[in-house]
Amino acid sequence: MIKKVEHVAIIVNNMEESIRYYCDLFGFKLRTTGSNPRREMSFLTHTQQPSFEIELIRDLEGKDTYSNKGLVNHLAFTVENIQEAMEYYRGKGIVFNADEPSTAIDGGKTIFFDGPNGELLQLVEPSASRR
């Protein structure tokens, strides 16, 4: 039986740049990094949710079938105030995919942006009923 979501894996082009991006902008910490002959992997954790990790994967032998096995549509981060978060991250150079947040089906607010590898990322301000 499933106990929790373990991690999400993101295929990256530049491991060091991706680690810096998630650590510097979002407060993740590098837990471990390593490689095998085919790929390099790093696991990032966050103090606010230590039981969930981001796994960054970089193929070492060009794109192989591993990176084509599936697609993660997006990775979402919870924020308390989406307008304040957008202002903060715009100051860090993030360009959002819209000028203003959208309203989710439950009344929350969301906005998307692209990560350094083209991965789709999202900020979510939960609706009052989910806080």
Half-sphere exposure of 84 (CA within 13 A, CB side): 5
Same domain, yes or no: 45 and 80: no
CATH of the domain at 130: 3.10.180.10
Distance CA 91, CA 130 (A): 28
Same domain, yes or no: 59 and 92: no
For the segment 89-110, what is each residue's pLDDT rounded down to a tens digit? 999 999 999 999 999 888 999 9
**Which stretches of the chain drop beneath a pLDDT of 70?**
1-2, 62-71, 131
Length of the chain: 131
Number of domains in the chain: 2
Distance CA 73, CA 14 (A): 20
Structural element, H or E, at residue 28 = none
- For 130, the domain range is 71-131
**β-bridge pairing 29-35 and 102-103:** unpaired
Among 63, 79, 111, identify where a domain stops. Answer: 63
